[in-house]
Amino acid sequence: MKIVLIGYGKMGKEIEAVARERGHDIHLIIDIDNRHDLTPEKLAGADIAIEFTGPEAAYDNIIACFDAALPVVSGSTGWLDRMEDLKEHCHQTDQAFFYASNYSLGVNILFHLNRVLARIMKRYPQYDISLEETHHTQKLDAPSGTAITLAEDILREIDPRKKQWVNRPASAREELAILSHRRDSIPGIHTIRYESDMDILELTHSAKNRRGFALGAVLAAEFLQGRKGCYGMNDLLGLEES
């Protein structure tokens, strides 16, 4: 594949390294200094774009790729209030789009286990629920997109016990607390905690480095070749809900 990298920070550089190791070419690199190069002319000849930028730029970057008939894999977070509009645009223009808030294979297995566990724990109201996430200090959005995905999946499964997530300690029983921490160079730790007066049950994923995220993004790009429509990690991993 000929890949356009949109966003060339630490994650973009890791994706570049993994892509080259897997035999792919980097067609174009777009970063903050050359955003003007995101045009149909510059994108011509590429097979796919992998987009990891910030919430203020992600939507427009993806639309620019669609306008150039270029499939997109995106991992940008903090802009998901516009996701349904983007998916509609993708379908209307017969494009291909792959989105995940986290491309780690382990995290996406955690997503699956989180939903299964929430269905079980719905029957046991003596357990209160909270989430905790820790990332490196360069991560600007809080809570993380991964924590939001975990929280919203819990809310869907355990309704009406919890009504909304909050990025602070819960002040009411119906609030699902997400506690966010930013410390040094930690790639990412996410924990779901069920706590009663008797015991604590936790699911935790701890990333060792960025390579797992980069590999997942490149695998998603390989998966998207020849496809149309919108996809996510469950499609890539073949995970089905029970």
> 88 and 25 in one domain?
yes
Whole-number pLDDT of residue 66: 96
Whole-number pLDDT of residue 241: 63
Asked if the model's pLDDT at residue 222 lies above 60, the reply is yes
Whole-number pLDDT of residue 142: 87
220 compared with 183, residue with greater pLDDT: 220
What average pLDDT score do residues 45-54 get? Answer: 96
What average pLDDT score do residues 194-215 get? Answer: 94
> 227 and 199 in one domain?
no
CATH of residue 39's domain is 3.40.50.720
Asked if the model's pLDDT at residue 242 lies above 70, the reply is no
What average pLDDT score do residues 67-85 get? Answer: 93
Asked if the model's pLDDT at residue 5 lies above 80, the reply is yes
Cis status of the peptide bond prior to 55, with omega within 30 of 0: no
Check: CB of residue 93 under 8 Å from CB of residue 63.
Answer: no
> 111 and 91 in one domain?
no
Asked if the model's pLDDT at residue 29 lies above 80, the reply is yes
> 120 and 36 in one domain?
no
The secondary structure of 69-83, three-state, reads CCCEEECCCCCHHHH
In a domain, 15, yes or no: yes
Of the listed ranges 60-64, 147-151, 238-242, the one predicted with least confidence: 238-242
Kindly write down the DSSP assignment for every residue of 92-159, as one continuous string: HTT-EEEE-S---HHHHHHHHHHHHHHHHHTT-TTSEEEEEEEE-TT--SSS-HHHHHHHHHHHHHHT
The structural domain count of the chain equals 2
Asked if the model's pLDDT at residue 240 lies above 80, the reply is no
Separation of alpha carbons 58 and 76, rounded Å: 6
Q: What is the DSSP secondary structure assignment for residue 50, as one 8-state letter? A: E
> Which domain, by its residues, includes 176?
105-206
> 202 and 216 in one domain?
no
In a domain, 242, yes or no: no
> 160 and 75 in one domain?
no
Confidence at 140, pLDDT banded by 50, 70, 90: confident
In a domain, 149, yes or no: yes
What average pLDDT score do residues 39-53 get? Answer: 97
Residues 142-198 have pLDDT tens digits of 898 889 989 999 999 998 999 999 999 999 999 999 999 999 888 889 999 999 999
> 111 and 99 in one domain?
no
Of the listed ranges 53-62, 114-123, 137-146, the one predicted with least confidence: 137-146
Separation of alpha carbons 203 and 198, rounded Å: 17
Whole-number pLDDT of residue 209: 87
Whole-number pLDDT of residue 77: 83
Residues 99-134 have pLDDT tens digits of 998 899 999 999 999 999 999 999 999 999 999 999
Q: What is the DSSP secondary structure assignment for residue 34, as one 8-state letter? A: G
Check: CB of residue 206 under 8 Å from CB of residue 227.
Answer: no
What average pLDDT score do residues 197-219 get? Answer: 94
CATH of residue 127's domain is 3.30.360.10
> 6 and 99 in one domain?
yes
Asked if the model's pLDDT at residue 89 lies above 60, the reply is yes
In a domain, 118, yes or no: yes
Residues annotated as part of the active site: 135, 139
Whole-number pLDDT of residue 127: 97
